Amino acid sequence: MSEVLLKIEGLRVAVGEKEILKGVDLTVRRGEIHALMGPNGSGKSTLSNAIMGHPHYRITEGRIWFKGEDITEMPTDEKARKGVFLAFQYPVAIPGVTVTNFLRAITKARRGEEGPAKEFRAEMAGAMQTLAMDPAFARRYVNDGFSGGEKKRCEMLQMALLKPELAILDETDSGLDIDALKVVCDGINRIFNPQMAMLIITHYQRMLNYVTPHRVHVFVAGRVVESGGSELVAALESEGYDRFIKKSLAAA
C-alpha cells in the first residue's frame, strides 16, 4: 500500500467565534487524486486554508500530518518548502513582478538553492510548452490583467516547477469557461504523477469530467459525510446535495 502523504484527524477550525470545521478526518496517499465536493458554505475552502496555515483560521482541535510529520502549527512557508502546494480560488495580482522573476524566487525557496539561470529558463520553457503556454506569458506581471483562465494556468505553471508532493486545488474551476477548463485540466493531468497526491476541492462535476479522482468525499456542514469512488460524482450530479445535507443533520 502506498505511503500516506496527508492525514487529517479530528480537525476543528474556527473563524472568530464561529466554528466552521467540526471534526474532519481525511487520508490521502501518494499517487492518489481525491475530490472534495460540497455545497457553498460547507467549509471546503476553510479546510484548504487550515491545511496551509492561514492565520485567519484557528485550529481548535485535531492534527494535520504530512508524510508522518505533524505540521498542524508549522508556518505556511515551511509547509510550502516541504512540498505542500495550494492553488487559490482567486489568485491575486502582483503588479511589477514578472512571471519569470516570481517563478525563479519561489523555486529557489522550494529547492533551497538558486541554480544556473540558463538551466532555469530551459526548465521554465519546457513546462510552458507542456502546458501549451505562449512564451510571451513569462514577461507579463503576475496575474495583472490576466483572464480567469490565464490565472489558473499560471498556477499550473507554478505547480509544474515547484513539483509539490501534495497539491491542493481550491475550486480551480471557478470562473472558467469550458475551453479554459479543458486547458487547465489537461495541464493538471500532464503534471500529476505517481509520486505526488492531489486534493481537488469543487462543488461541480464538470472539472471531474476531465480529471478522474480515485476517491470522492462529500463535505457538508464542516465534515466529511460520505466517501466513495468516482461513481459518487455521478450520484451527486443526479441527486444534488439534499440527501447528504439530511444525513449530516441526522448525525449532528
- The CATH number of whichever domain residue 143 belongs to comes to 3.40.50.300
pTM of the model: 0.92
Q: What does the pLDDT look like over 70-118, one tens digit per residue? A: 999 999 999 999 999 999 888 899 999 999 999 999 999 999 888 899 9
Provide the residue range defining the domain that includes 193. 4-251
Are 31 and 2 spatial neighbours (Cβ–Cβ below 8 Å)? yes
Alpha-carbon gap, residue 27 to 111, rounded angstroms: 26
Q: What does the pLDDT look like over 10-24, one tens digit per residue? A: 999 999 999 999 999
Which cell numbers hold the place of 10?
Answer: 479530528
Are 23 and 10 spatial neighbours (Cβ–Cβ below 8 Å)? yes
Between 117-130 and 178-191, two packed helices, what is the crossing angle to 10 degrees? 130
Per-residue H/E/C for 50-104: HHHCCCCCEEEEEEEEECCEECCCCCHHHHHHHCEEEECCCCCCEEEEEHHHHHH
Strands 33-37 and 215-220: parallel
Alpha-carbon gap, residue 69 to 239, rounded angstroms: 39
Total domains, the chain: 1
